[in-house]
Amino acid sequence: MRVPRFVGNGQIDFVEKAVPVPGPGQLLIQVKANALCGSERGQFFKGSTVTPGHEAAGVVVAAGEGTSNPPGTAGVVFLMDFCGNCRNCRLGLTNQCLQKRGDMGFNRDGGYGAYELVNESIFLPVAPTLPLTDATLLLDVMGTTAHAITRAQRIHPDLQSLLVTGAGPIGLGVLAMAKIMLGESFPVLIADVVGWRLTLAEQLGGKPIHLTQSTLAEGAARHGLPRVDGAFDTSGKEVARRGALDLLDKRGVLVCIGHGEGLSLNVSPDLIATERAILGSEYFCFNELPANVERLQNHLPYLRQIITHRFPVSEIQQAFELFWQGETGKVVIEQ
Residue 213 C-beta: closest distance to Zn ion, Å: 30
What is the Cα–Cα distance from 186 to 72, expressed in whole angstroms? 40
What is the Cα–Cα distance from 286 to 289, expressed in whole angstroms? 6
Q: Which is nearer to Zn ion, 79 or 204 (CB)?
A: 79
Q: Which is nearer to Zn ion, 83 or 217 (CB)?
A: 83
What is the Cα–Cα distance from 144 to 233, expressed in whole angstroms? 12
Contacting residues toward Zn ion, per CB under 5 A: 37, 39, 82-83, 86, 89, 97, 140
Q: Which is nearer to Zn ion, 86 or 291 (CB)?
A: 86
Residue 89 C-beta: closest distance to Zn ion, Å: 3
Residue 228 · residue 251 · CB < 8 Å:
no
Q: Point out the residue whose Cβ comes nearest to Zn ion.
A: 37
Sheet strands (E) in 185-306: 188-192, 207-210, 228-233, 248-256, 277-280
Residue 149 · residue 177 · CB < 8 Å:
yes
Residue 283 C-beta: closest distance to Zn ion, Å: 8
Sheet strands (E) in the chain: 2-8, 11-16, 26-35, 56-63, 74-77, 80-81, 102-103, 115-119, 123-125, 162-165, 188-192, 207-210, 228-233, 248-256, 277-280, 307-312, 330-334
Q: Which is nearer to Zn ion, 167 or 247 (CB)?
A: 167
What is the Cα–Cα distance from 82 to 105, expressed in whole angstroms? 14
Residue 37 C-beta: closest distance to Zn ion, Å: 3
What is the Cα–Cα distance from 100 to 84, expressed in whole angstroms? 9
Q: Which is nearer to Zn ion, 26 or 43 (CB)?
A: 43
Q: Which is nearer to Zn ion, 83 or 291 (CB)?
A: 83
- Helix 169-182 crosses helix 145-155 at what angle (to 10 degrees)? 50
Q: Which is nearer to Zn ion, 100 or 223 (CB)?
A: 100
